[in-house]
């Protein structure tokens, strides 16, 4: 291979030039995300939704015969308006919530928008007409299309204009002030709400511009911009989630790295693997990260919460219904192959939600790796059984162990990162696993059913009952973990890690332990899922699976063991019901419902659907020590019901009988204070 002066290979140079132009889109979205995070404290995944909406509207209007510049302008305006609506409806009500909660809210927006686009436009990919003529310009012997040049030039011009705006204008200075110290900015009369609206509108506008410019360069589907978001977030890590110039440079660096990797190694998924490598290097090198502002809007007096009291007389009925549900789960699948398959699919969601309850709800760590664990379990089991002739139980065990090791390795960087940085890193890992590891030619496309511990799994019914038994064992183990000393340490390490370390316990060990347990559970669920569906496709384990599983868990309830059951019932049964009564677009209905519901849950019912289910309360010595904040609040309310507030006369009499006595004889007595009698 010929080499250019300076020892740089020609192909590498060509790839680097092409990567710079490709990285312009990553850089622009990354700048918008960084600005929003620094000013509002929200690490937004919704930018992918804004870009996707603009791209689909642009394609739709172009197919209707609109002039392409007009179609592009309308698409950008529509996405910008949508961003402002999102800020008002889904983000502003979460003022004061922790950064992880707001991150999950933006995931809900992405899921909801993706479902709407699938429902309206269908699942078929679309192709957009280029805005600029189909010509190219030669740069360092590399032919670059006008459309790619437009992406980089637009990104550079907008980034420079944004930098000028932040430095030279009064409102720009206000935006920077909010990024530095929101409370001080508020005390100086700056409207944090206005800054938040500006950032969401600007972020939606910039993302929409990227969507319109990138759409003609590739086949567009809903997942296109989720991958683009992953690479843009990698650029934000280069900038430490704080520096706009470094973030822009990081976006270009991501484009160059993936382009060179694709040229050097002719294998699927090398681009995503290069992005993961860059993320790992940044995580190892960078020691400081930006901290999310504590608030991004003016303080509010109260927040709405839906309260659905359950009368004491109705509790036995609720428990009776729960018992009836258990009987249905035991009896109905025995006589129906269809309901056995649906039940097995429901149990799969229960297992995956259970792993996220332990990791996110109890451990406080937002992870988007569950889809990768599922893929390792499913495809690993198929590979060991088909390619190496292992028995099914051994393949399931070895795949679960492999997933556990992967979870332990992933837990190492999570120990020194906040939940937000780890969420970005875990999404990059999931993307690399889906595009590179799961696309290996050795992975089989099907898994023939065999025996498991002497049980014939040739029918869906037998698979269902095996999954039901294993799910019950996993739920029992999780319940014992939650009630154990280690479980209490885990909750304490989530809420007050300093206090745990003060008493000699290891918060690090607790977090690492929950990573390992959650990884084992999720991987085992993936192996069982492979046995259930038999057919294996790498596309089933794309990053969108991780996003969906996290959303389902939050909707079901991420703090309680009832949550996984609710998530399985809501998102395991509902798709089958809608598919049997509607067209193919019904596949998008669960995402629409999940995305909308997660916003409602976070705003009105943070405990999820599990909070709607009454649970028995233990009293007396049988209750044991209580570590849940909700339990403490409930106990306090019960005790206060029996306390009679003192009258004004009684309070005055108490004050007179315990007058103020200065501790220092030389201290002057306050006016109106009573002199205490001296014995």
CA-wise closest residue to 227 among 589, 539, 552, 549: 539
Phi and psi dihedrals of 448, rounded to 5? Answer: -75, 140
Q: Cα dist. 673→348, 657, 659, 664, 676 in Å?
A: 68, 12, 7, 15, 9
Residue with tokens 């019932």: 569
| Shared-domain flag, residues 341 and 281 | no
Contact 275, 254 (CB under 8 A): yes
CB 279 within 8 A of CB 36: no
Which of 250, 285, 320 is a domain's end point?
285
Q: Which residues of the chain have pLDDT under 50?
A: 1-8, 295-305, 581-584, 586, 617-633, 635-636, 640, 658-679
What percentage of the chain's residues is helix, strand, coil (to nearest 5)? 70, 5, 25
Domain-located, residue 353? yes
What is the spatial distance between Cα 239 and Cα 234, in angstroms, rounded to a whole number?
9
Q: Are residues 104 and 201 in the same domain?
A: yes
- pLDDT value at position 7? 46
d(CA 202, CA 209): 11
On whether residue 327 sits in a domain, the answer given is no
Of 199, 247, 226, the closest CA to residue 48 belongs to 226
What pLDDT, on a 0 to 100 scale, did the predictor assign at position 337?
A: 86
One domain for residues 506 and 595: yes
Q: What CATH number is associated with residue 538? A: 1.10.3470
Structural domain containing residue 77: 12-285
Q: What is the pTM of this model?
A: 0.81
179 assigned to some structural domain: yes
Last residue of a domain, one of 572, 596, 613: 613
* Separation in Å, CA 590 to CA 163, 395, 542, 565, 574: 41, 32, 17, 16, 7
- Contact (CB, 8 A) for 166 and 180: no
Quick one: pLDDT at residue 125?
86
267 shares a domain with 336: no
- Same-domain status, 344 and 489: yes
Q: Tell me what pLDDT residue 200 has.
A: 93
CA atoms within 13 A on the CB side of 328: 9
User: Does residue 126 sit within a domain?
Assistant: yes
How far is the CA of 202 from the CAs of 63, 76, 106, 198, in angstroms? 27, 11, 16, 6
> Which of 248, 265, 285 is the endpoint of a domain?
285
- Residues 182 and 99 placed together within one structural domain of the fold: yes
Whether 81 is covered by a domain: the verdict is yes
Residue 183 lies in a domain: yes
Q: Are residues 395 and 281 in the same domain?
A: no
State whether 80 and 148 are in the same domain: yes
In a domain, 368, yes or no: yes
**342 and 281 in a common domain:** no
What single string gives the DSSP state of each residue in 55-86? HHHHHHHHHTT--HHHHHHHHHHHHHHHHHHH
Q: How many domains does the chain have?
A: 2
Q: Are residues 161 and 39 in the same domain?
A: yes
> Does 300 reside within a domain?
no
Q: What is the DSSP letter of 645?
A: P
Same domain, 451 and 387: yes
Domain check: are 367 and 231 in the same one? no
């Amino acid at each position: 291979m010929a080499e250019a002066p300076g020892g740089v290979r020609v192909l590498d140079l060509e790839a680097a030039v092409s990567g710079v132009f490709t990285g312009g889109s990553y850089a622009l979205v990354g700048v918008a995300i960084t600005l929003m995070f620094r000013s509002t404290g929200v690490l937004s995944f919704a930018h992918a939704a804004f870009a996707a909406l603009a791209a689909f509207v642009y394609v739709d209007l172009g197919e209707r015969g609109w002039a392409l510049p007009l179609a592009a302008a309308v698409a950008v305006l529509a996405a910008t308006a949508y961003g402002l609506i999102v800020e008002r409806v889904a983000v502003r009500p979460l003022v004061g919530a922790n950064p992880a909660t707001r991150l999950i809210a933006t995931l809900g927006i992405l899921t909801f928008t993706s479902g709407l686009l699938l429902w309206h436009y269908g699942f078929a990919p679309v192709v957009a007409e280029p805005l600029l003529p189909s010509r190219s310009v030669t740069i360092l012997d590399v032919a670059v299309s006008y459309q790619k040049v437009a992406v980089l030039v637009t990104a550079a011009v907008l980034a420079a204009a944004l930098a000028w705006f932040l430095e030279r204008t009064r409102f720009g200075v206000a935006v920077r002030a909010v990024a530095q110290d929101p409370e001080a900015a508020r005390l100086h009369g700056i409207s944090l709400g206005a800054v938040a609206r500006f950032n969401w509108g600007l972020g939606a506008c910039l993302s929409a511009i990227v969507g319109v410019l990138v759409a003609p360069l590739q086949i567009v589907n809903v997942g296109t911009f989720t991958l683009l978001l992953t690479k843009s977030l990698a650029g934000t890590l280069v900038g430490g989630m704080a520096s706009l110039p470094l973030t822009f440079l990081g976006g270009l660096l991501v484009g160059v790295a993936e382009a060179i990797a694709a040229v050097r190694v002719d294998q699927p998924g090398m681009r995503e693997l290069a992005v993961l490598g860059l993320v790992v290097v940044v995580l190892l090198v960078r020691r400081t990260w930006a901290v999310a502002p504590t608030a991004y809007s003016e303080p509010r007096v109260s927040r709405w919460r839906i309260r659905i009291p359950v009368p004491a007389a109705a509790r036995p009925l609720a428990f009776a219904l729960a018992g009836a549900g258990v009987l249905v789960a035991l009896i109905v699948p025995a006589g129906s192959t269809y309901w056995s398959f649906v039940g097995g699919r429901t149990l799969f969601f229960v297992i995956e939600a259970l792993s996220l309850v332990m990791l996110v709800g109890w451990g406080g760590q937002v992870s988007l790796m569950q889809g990768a664990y599922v893929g390792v379990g499913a495809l690993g089991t198929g590979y060991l059984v088909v390619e190496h002739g292992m028995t099914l139980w051994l393949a399931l065990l070895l795949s679960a162990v492999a997933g556990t090791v992967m979870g332990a390795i992933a837990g190492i960087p999570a120990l020194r990162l906040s939940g937000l940085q780890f969420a970005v890193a875990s999404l990059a890992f999931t993307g690399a696993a889906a595009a590179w590891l799961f696309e290996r030619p050795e992975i089989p496309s099907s898994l023939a059913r065999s025996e498991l511990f002497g049980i014939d799994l040739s029918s869906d019914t037998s698979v269902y009952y095996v999954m039901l038994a294993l799910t019950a064992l996993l739920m029992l183990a999780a319940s014992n973990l939650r009630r154990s000393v280690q479980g209490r340490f885990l909750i304490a390490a989530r809420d007050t890690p300093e206090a745990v370390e003060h008493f000699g316990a290891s918060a690090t060990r607790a977090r690492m332990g929950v990573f390992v347990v959650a990884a084992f559970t999720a991987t085992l669920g993936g192996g069982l899922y492979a046995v259930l569906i038999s057919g294996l496709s790498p596309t089933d384990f794309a990053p969108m699976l991780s996003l969906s599983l996290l959303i389902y868990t939050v909707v079901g309830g991420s703090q309680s063991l009832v949550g996984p059951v609710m998530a399985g019932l809501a998102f395991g049964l509902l798709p089958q019901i809608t598919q049997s009564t509607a067209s193919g677009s019904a596949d998008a209905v669960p995402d629409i419902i999940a995305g909308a519901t997660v916003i409602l849950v976070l705003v009105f019912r943070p405990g999820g659907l599990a909070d709607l289910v009454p649970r028995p309360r233990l009293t007396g010595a049988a209750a044991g020590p209580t570590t849940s904040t909700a339990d403490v609040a409930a106990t306090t309310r019960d005790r206060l019901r029996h306390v009679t507030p003192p009258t004004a006369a009684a309070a005055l009499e108490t004050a007179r009988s315990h007058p103020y006595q200065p501790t220092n004889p030389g201290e002057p007595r306050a006016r109106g204070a009573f002199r205490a009698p001296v014995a």
